[in-house]
Structure 1
Amino acid sequence: MTFRLTTLACLLSALLCSVPAVQAQTQDTSVAGVETRAVEDVPATERESAPPVDIWDRIRRGYGMNDLNGPRYRAALKMYARNPKYIQDVSSRAGKYLYHIVEEVERRGMPSELALLPFVESAFQPEAKSYAKAAGLWQFMPATGNVFSLQQNLWKDERRDVLESTRAALDYLQKLYGMFGDWHLALAAYNWGEGSVQKAIRYNKQRKRKTSYPYLRMPKETANYVPRLLAIKELVANPDKYGISLPEIENAPYFVRIAKSHDIDLKTAAALAEMDEAEFKLLNPGFNLPVIVASHNSVILLPEDNVEIFMNNLASWVNTGKPLSSWTLYRVQPDETLKDIAETVQMTEDELRRINHIPKDRNVLPGSMLLVSANGQSTGEITADTMDARLNLSAPETRRVIYRVKKGDTIYDIAVKYGITQETIRKHNRLKSSSLRIGQRLVLIIGPKTTLAKGQRLHVVQPGQTLSTIAQRYGVSVSSIRRMNKLKGSQIKVGQKLIVGRAARRATYVSDTTHIVRSGDSLGTIARKYGVTVNELRQLNNLSSNTIRVGQAIDVGKPIASSSEPHGEDVHVVRPGESLNTIARRYGLSVEQLRRQNDLSSYSIRVGQYLKVGAADIETQVTVHTIQEGESLGVIAERYGMGLNRLRRINNLKNDSVRVGQTLRVIPGAQTKTQEGTAPNANVHVVQAGESLGVIARKYGMRLAVLRQLNGLKNNTIRVGQTLKIQKPAVPNQTPN
């Protein structure tokens, strides 16, 4: 029995021992007598025994995460593969940091894909800062950075520090993996927040749905987050397959930690290492100020190749007795301003603000610590008790408001409501178009509140607006806006704040334009097109909601001051038989000026319509004219391009009688004097701003070709101030009966 058992054991042993040999034999293949073997078929022991060729090879060997193969993954892979230069640029930046990150990942037993996460987070830019205030290679938010012991103070921001941020990121990822037991979910939580992922999992569980990463309801950014990392993983694994050329990165340390015991200017440290300052900052991006304080920051990072150079140059510098730092601290005293401090320390206020990161709309408060120039004096090292030194600033002159878009809202309406410009809304919310969706969250940066008297309101000038259009919008006069805001002229700029009084009566609307609704139109798009608000359109068209239909006629008139009679001297009520031409002549305006002042898109007007006939927004300037012998009121009016009625009105004249030496107030258009050699009462016209040759021809009832021929013009180009000969309609001779 014993023999038989022993024999059986030997047979089993021989059989088991022969299995590897059989397997190895079946894996080998030959083509044309040449032995070949796929890389994947190299025994694991053989692969692992050979050292990694470079850092990329080392990363590939440590892959340990499950793959995804959904549409988001394929889209990410396609996106990256189509941009090989982007991958090469990011990979080149990664060369400074990858060895250290891979070392830390392997030391913790984590999958090496995680070393590639900064590809997705920051594109390996250690000074990257997101709109949401996340910072560094690993994009830590301020609050999360505090949880993981990343110091953020006057001196440094360890969210940007290469060593500390890597430590904190891997701590956080390990914690998340411990919570979820799945790297995909851990990464989703890193991007979205652990509470959000837990809530999404609970939501699916309650509905008996799968709770793995691809099945959770999450924001688009988070849904794309893991697929993008796995796409980078695939490109690193098979760069040739996708036409990617990864830069050579040795599997060796790039930088070395250097301990220091003295304060040193960042610029000086870079010079001693014979490095460009920008290159030095890429390894030491966590320092906030131009001095590296030894008591707060005991380590700097230098490329391994520059360490010996730095040490030799440092020894030579110290032997000269020159200080390594040119900065010291200054405590702000009560009643001191930045301007006062700048004069004391022989700096400019702008320099103080730039070096200490003080915004222009903030002031420093007493007790604040400022970094200032030591002016060549030896002030000693900055001590450790200043670690908690703070920069206390006054409240910002702006405040941040979160606004939820409501039905019918437009960017224009929101800008007007909150007294800001459309451009600031687009900028702070990264809007590429004017389209908004209901419920959309907008960040509004609003300036300090302006104290207004009863009945006043604040208007922020929007693109394309003039004093005239603003006055029409609120049903007030241009002169009242000028007076309230102490404006000398009519020039205004986008973003300027204007105080506007309330109209004495409710505004009504002059409608000279109708818009036919087309497919895709909304009240918002129509309002933007014609420079009115949605509420104004609804009021004008008696709409109870924002619903409109294709083919519907929408009145898109403009508001002007309403009254049963002309409201003041600068308003004209259209009477039967009048045209823009006759009204413009009566008030000494060009037709184009009249259209511009009333925002008319055509030449059509109707009986009873109110038109503003005051001076044009631009080019109007009161001048005094002294009457010469032989001049009449008509001659003077024609000379200055004014209407007789207007000339009488601004001089309070009851008739046309004038005397030599009398002074008259005149408001010239583009014309200030007749062309030399032309009699004052000649048939001439001086071109005014906004006029074209066609407009002038219509004004005088001439054909365009005749006007060109009369003035020897080869084309329709004319300039403001140019004098043109015109033919007035002939007056038939009248003989007494």
Structure 2
Amino acid sequence: MFRYIITSAIIILYFSVGAFAQEPDSLIVDFDLAADTTLVDSMASDSMLKEEMKLEDDLNEIFSERMDSLLNSAEFRMRFHFDSTEVHFTDQFPTNIPDSVYIRRLQDVEMAIDLSYNDVVKKYIQMYTERKRGLVEVMLGLSAYYFPMFEETLDKYDMPLELKYLAIIESALNPTARSRAGAVGLWQFMYGTAKSMKLEVTSFVDERSDPVKATDAAARYLKRLYDIYGDWYLAIAAYNCGPGNVNKAIRRSGGKTDYWEIYYRLPRETRGYVPAFIAATYAFEYYKEHNLIPQYPNFSLSVDTVMVNDYLHFDQVVASLEMDKEELAALNPMYRRNVIPAKEDKPYPLILPNNKLMAFIDKDTAVFAYNREKYFPNNTLVNPTTSSGSHFTPVDIKGKDKVVYTVKSGDNVGYISSWFKVRSSDLRYWNNIHRDMIRVGQKLAVYVPQGQKEKYDKINTMSFAEKQQSVGKSVQVAEKKTETPLDPGYVYHTVRNGDTLWEIAQKYAGISADDIMQLNKLSNDRGLYVGQKLKIKRKS
């Protein structure tokens, strides 16, 4: 029985070093001797720029650190098969380029989105072409794989193709990138936004890391934002910080809708977002002029896709096709635990190098049958032991008893570790906990000394105060909250179980999570409780 469906090729890439279109200007211009005072700058004034220059340097560093995270990531090492300490990139390149050259080049780029130029944009151009050259060369190589699919999707929605450069700013073309705030993938979708855009996020599948589906969702989201503002700069800014924050900046600027006129009213990181986009566009259009040489990844750039409709483990494919597991994972970053949880009524894609596709088809059932009882006992998904990330969740630890603890309200990783007398790092390791993020009701595996399981099982039944007392800590009794009388001049929202500020804000047009926090003097979601009445906006 066939357990796959052959699809037409989603990605077949033909590329050359000349794939990036601009012909180089002469590299022998002595930029050190050139003098030019021309500067196109639609921002408020030179004095304002000087006053804010320190802030711009800080913003430059934020994006610089984001790019560094690519080079230091496991995904990068997997895709290029060399350690970041062994990377040797070109070190001869032009510097001190006059503003007039940058201006002319940006004007010569034929794009639907206007490419402004000012001192802020210049700083980002210099970051890409001088300070972070190695990373740009890596991204140039990755773009040979990702940009064709970005362009195909943008063309489908009749959108400017240069929007593909947004992924440079968002993720440095790392499909498994994860921000401190929890945004994931090439296009950095937060969980709530991903679900609203119909992306699947489960224990086994995270379509935020699926290059094809995430790109389609990003294009639809950007198009929606452009329909709101009718301006690509504002749409790009809203993609980063949310339409609520852009609306607030417009209101605080007296209704102005020019990006550079509301620039200083935008959230701090968003101020660097559009300049970084313009600079990335410049760097990729004129990489030859800066002697940047693409570094191509170590996985196949010519691939095809089959749809599988039965459970399949990466190890089954690797063993049957004699291919590299790292390459398979790099081509299929959307599967979180190296398992494709496909069913007859819910097939999933498997991306393979073209030279392995026919072998997969020829071997058919042998691939699915390989060690099937080991990976899928009784043909069920059980004990998912590995993640496609760098963590490993053991099924058992010799010499230890396993206790399952259910997370309660008020718990955190530090508390739980102290109650069970284990290290926080071990608790994170056993449960694939990222950045200490746990949720109420989550089941955590904790390994305790053999013979003491019954003792530690009791922790599940203790109150928070009792658990703290068990490790010699006292608990301060919080004063009972008194309900503040409702102001009849406001619209209110009653908090329900599981509500977040972001989800609440989505229910009210023109309202952002920041607006709600400001009105209700909240610092984050932790201040919420079921039944709480939140001010949303003034009644009209």
TM-score (norm 2): 0.51
1:267 pairs with 315, 340, 345, which one?
Answer: 315
User: Secondary structure at the residue paired with 1:257?
Assistant: strand
What's the secondary structure of 2:305's corresponding residue?
Answer: strand
Work out the CA distance in 1 between the residues paired with 2:139 and 2:251: 37
Give me the whole-angstrom Cα distance separating, in 2, the residues matched to 1:56 and 1:186. Answer: 25
Task: Report how far residue 116 of structure 1 moved.
Answer: 1.9
Aligned to 2:20: 56
Q: Deviation of residue 85 (structure 1)?
A: 0.6
Correspondence 1:212 to 2:259: yes
Provide the secondary structure at the position in 1 that maps to 2:352: strand
Tell me: CA distance 1:283–1:214, structure 2 relative to 1, closer, same or farther (3 Å): farther
Q: How does 1:695-706 map to 2 (within 5 A)?
A: none
Shift of 1:397: 7.0
The Cα shift of 1:101 comes to 1.3
Show the 5 A alignment for 1:286-301: 286-295=334-343, 296-301=346-351
Q: Match for 2:115: what amino acid?
A: D
Mapping of residues 1-150 of structure 1, within 5 Å: 54-57=18-21, 63-81=111-129, 82-150=131-199
Distance change (3 Å), C-alpha of 1:303 and 1:131: same
Whether the 8 Å CA contact 2:250–2:262 is kept in 1: the answer is no
Asked if the contact 2:22–2:285 (Cα under 8 Å) also holds between the matched residues in 1, the reply is: no
State the distance in 2 between where 1:257 and 1:169 align: 21
Tell me which of 345, 351, 367 is aligned to 2:394.
351
Seen in structure 2, the aligned counterparts of structure 1 residues 452 and 256 have a Cα distance that, compared at 3 Å, is closer
CA offsets per residue over residues 379-436 of structure 1, 9 Å max, x none?
A: xxxxxxxxxxxxxx643773499xxxxxxxxxxxxx9xxx9xxxx9xxxxxxxxxxxx
Q: Distance in 1 between matches of 2:403 and 2:232?
A: 45
* Aligned partner of 2:242 among 164, 177, 193: 193
**Structure 1 residues 419-469: Cα deviation after superposition (integer angstroms, max 9, x where no partner):** 9xxxx9xxxxxxxxxxxxxxxxxx99999985379xxx98xxxxxxxxxxx
User: What corresponds to 1:511 in structure 2?
Assistant: none
Residue 262 of structure 1, CA deviation: 2.9
Q: 1: distance between equivalents of 2:239 and 2:199?
A: 16
Whether the aligned pair in 2 keeps the contact of 1:255 and 1:301 (CA below 8 Å) is: yes
Residue type of the alignment partner of 1:182: D
Q: CA deviation at 1:93?
A: 3.0
Number of residue pairs aligned between Structure 1 and Structure 2 = 326
1:223 is the counterpart of 2:271 = yes
Distance 1:282 1:498, change over 3 A: same
Partner-residue secondary structure (3-state), 1:302: strand
CA drift at 1:325 = 7.2
Secondary structure at the counterpart of residue 205 of structure 1: coil
Give how far 1:321 is off: 7.8
1:585-618 per-position Cα deviation (integer Å, ceiling 9, x unaligned): xxxxxxxxxxxxxxxxxxxxxxxxxxxxxxxxxx
Task: Specify the code of the residue in structure 2 equivalent to 1:300.
Answer: L
Q: Any gaps of 5 or more consecutive residues in structure 2?
A: 1-14, 24-107, 386-391, 425-435, 441-461, 477-540
Q: Which residue of 1 aligns with 2:72?
A: none
Matches of 2:158 and 2:366, distance apart in 1: 44
Contact 1:253 1:304 in 2 (8 A): no
SS of aligned partner of 1:150 = coil
Aligned to 2:219: 170
* 1:314 to 1:95, Cα distance in 2 relative to 1, 3 A: farther
SS of 1:351's equivalent in the other structure is: coil
- Whole-Å separation in 1 of the counterparts to 2:126 and 2:158: 31
Partner-residue secondary structure (3-state), 1:57: coil
Tell me, what secondary structure is at the counterpart of 1:121? Answer: helix
- Following TM superposition, by how much is the alpha carbon of 1:192 offset from its aligned partner in structure 2, in angstroms? 0.2
Find the aligned partners of 1:183 and 1:501 in 2 and give their Cα distance. Answer: 52
Question: Cα–Cα, structure 1 residues 164 and 500, in superposed 2: closer, same or farther, change >3 Å?
Answer: closer
Match in the other structure for 1:674: none
- For 1:362 and 1:58, locate their aligned partners in 2 and report how far apart those are by CA, in whole Å: 60
1:88–1:244 CA contact under 8 A, matched in 2: yes
Q: Is the 8 A contact 1:116 1:232 kept in 2?
A: yes
Deviation of 1:110 (Å): 1.7
Pairs within 5 Å for 1:465-614 = 498-499=472-473
Tell me which protein shows more helix as a share of its residues.
Answer: 2
Q: Say whether the 8 Å CA contact 1:272–1:314 is kept in structure 2.
A: no
Aligned to 2:356: 306
Return closer, same or farther for 1:187/1:315 CA change in 2, 3 Å cut-off. Answer: same
For residues 99 and 184 of structure 1, what CA distance do their matches in structure 2 show? 23
CA distance in 2, matches of 1:213, 1:70: 10
* Cα 1:211/1:399, change in 2 over 3 Å: farther
Larger relative contact order (Cα-Cα within 8 Å, sequence gap ≥ 6): 2
Selected match of 2:465 from 425, 434, 451: 451
Query: Normalising to structure 1: TM-score of the pair?
Result: 0.38
For residues 214 and 148 of structure 1, do their structure 2 counterparts lie closer, same or farther at Cα, with a shift above 3 Å needed? same
Distance 2:170 2:370 in 1: 45
For 2:209, the equivalent position in structure 1 comes to 160
Q: Secondary structure at the match of 1:95?
A: helix
Q: 1:74-114 deviations in whole A, cap 9, x for unaligned?
A: 11111111221111122223333222112112232222221
Counterpart-to-counterpart distance in 2, 1:54 and 1:254: 18
In structure 2, what is the Cα distance between the partners aligned to 1:291 and 1:400? 28
Provide the aligned C-alpha RMSD in A: 4.6
The letter for the 2-side match of 1:326 is Y
Query: Is contact 2:245–2:267 with CA below 8 Å preserved after alignment?
Result: no
Return the alpha-carbon distance in structure 2 between the equivalents of residues 120 and 221 of structure 1. Answer: 11
Question: After superposition, what is the alpha-carbon deviation per residue over 1:220-255, rounded to whole angstroms, capped at 9, x for unaligned?
Answer: 211111111111111111113323113479xx9732
Change (3 A) 1:301 1:214: farther
Q: Residues 62 and 291 (structure 1 numbering): CA distance in 2 closer, same or farther, change over 3 Å?
A: farther
Cα distance in structure 2, aligned partners of 1:116 and 1:321: 42
Structure-1 separation of matches of 2:138 and 2:198: 31
1:95–1:305 CA distance, 2 compared to 1 (3 A): farther
> C-alpha offsets along residues 103-149 of structure 1, whole Å, 9 cap, x if unaligned?
11223222222112221111111111112111111110000011110
Kindly indicate whether the alpha-carbon contact (under 8 Å) linking 1:91 and 1:247 is maintained by their aligned counterparts in 2: yes
Residue 398 of structure 1: aligned partner: 411
Contact 1:155–1:287 (CA<8 Å) still a contact in 2? Answer: yes
Amino acid at match of 2:113: M
Question: Could you tell me how far apart the structure 1 residues matched to 2:439 and 2:154 are?
Answer: 45
Number of the residue aligned with 2:490: none
TM-aligned CA distance change 1:175 to 1:310, over 3 Å: same
Residue 326 of structure 2: aligned partner = 278
Q: For structure 1, which runs of at least 5 residues remain unmatched after alignment?
A: 1-50, 333-337, 343-348, 355-359, 364-392, 402-414, 425-442, 459-484, 486-496, 503-737
Q: Give the drift of 1:288.
A: 2.7
The letter of the residue matching 1:159 is R
Q: Distance in 2 between matches of 1:73 and 1:225?
A: 10
Secondary structure at the aligned position of 1:129 is classed as coil
1:357 is aligned to: none
Give the distance between the partners of 1:361 and 1:133, measured in 2 at CA. 28
Provide the identity percentage. Answer: 25
Q: Is 2:247 the partner of 1:234?
A: no
Q: Is the 8 A contact 1:84 1:243 kept in 2?
A: no
Give the Cα–Cα distance (whole angstroms) in 2 for the partners of residues 112 and 224 of structure 1. Answer: 21
Deviation of 1:259 after TM superposition, in Å, equals: 2.0
